[in-house]
Amino acid sequence: MTNQPLDERIITEAIADRFFEKFKSCLNLDVAIVGGGPSGLTAAWKLASEGFNVALFERKLSLGGGMWGGGMTWNMAVVQEESRHILEEAGIAVSHYRDGYYTADAVACTTTLASRACLAGTKVFNCTSVEDVCIREEADGKRVTGLVINSSPVEMAGLHIDPVVLGTRCVIEATGHDTEVLKTVVRKNDVRLNTPSGKIEGEQSMWAERAESTTVENTREVFPGMWVTGMAANATFGSYRMGPIFGGMLLSGLRVAELIAKELRGE
């Protein structure tokens, strides 16, 4: 401790300076991730680890999405054999339950995945809602080029305050069941998605076995510059919900990170 008395103005100045340093480093992102659930966090961790300029936007105060509460608030996460390596690599204790089924503490999962994403260099903006994207006509057609963001308290209070924009090469739609950002894209623009109908197909009722494998298959670029992951991938392609099993979310986050890393490296 120094002998100097604390000056509240310096505390304020430190917050403002450092926040806007972080914010300005996001004006030209490689990847903007919308949603801090298990799929978005896994994608953020992996892409930031590769050295890309990655930011994650989460409407709520806390990251973790639907993973905190396990099933019906019983805070245990179930994963399968194929995905447990992701939790183990993050440093989360995974325990064998019975053939093919593993469990991990849901709070350990959310906090550790969030920590991995941050430590890898993801710039996280919590309390921030993504309202929309920017779409521009480029030489090879229309593509997403930016993200339109606003403060969630502004959204919650229903205040009429305009958002601001960040540029990005890729957007990951990881908003879960509601596919909120992609819905806005389809509603506002004359665009055709890379889905059978060209629109969002919509989520079907629960079927864990089918849903878990299709989540990974449906993890794709659905419009130039825009990828879907996690539950948003299944909702976009008309597949099922899986309920309280999280392996598909982790594998989907890993997959979208691999696909985008290849694209950004021009492979």
Residues that bind ligand 48F (CB under 6 A): 34-40, 57-60, 65-67, 129-130, 174-176, 180-181, 230-232, 241-242, 246, 249
Report, in Å, the least distance between residue 83 CB and ligand 48F: 11
3-state secondary structure of 222: strand
Give the separation between CA 124 and CA 41, rounded to whole angstroms. 10
Report, in Å, the least distance between residue 4 CB and ligand 48F: 40
Residue 14 or 166 with smaller CB distance to ligand 48F: 166
On whether 231 is known to bind a ligand per the annotation, the reply is yes
Q: What's the burial of 215, exposed, middle or buried (CB within 10 Å: 0-12/13-18/19+)?
A: buried
On whether 58 is known to bind a ligand per the annotation, the reply is yes
On whether 256 is known to bind a ligand per the annotation, the reply is no
Q: Are 44 and 56 in contact (CB under 8 A)?
A: yes
Residue 6 or 61 with smaller CB distance to ligand 48F: 61
Give the separation between CA 7 and CA 162, rounded to whole angstroms. 33
Q: Are 245 and 212 in contact (CB under 8 A)?
A: yes
Report, in Å, the least distance between residue 62 CB and ligand 48F: 8
CA dihedral 114, 228, 31, 190 (to 10 degrees): -140
Site of tokens 């992951």: 229
On whether 143 is known to bind a ligand per the annotation, the reply is no
On whether 67 is known to bind a ligand per the annotation, the reply is no
In the annotated binding site for glycine, the residues are 241
Binding residues for NAD(+): 39, 58-59, 66, 130, 160-162, 231
Binding residues: 39, 58-59, 66, 130, 160-162, 177, 231, 241
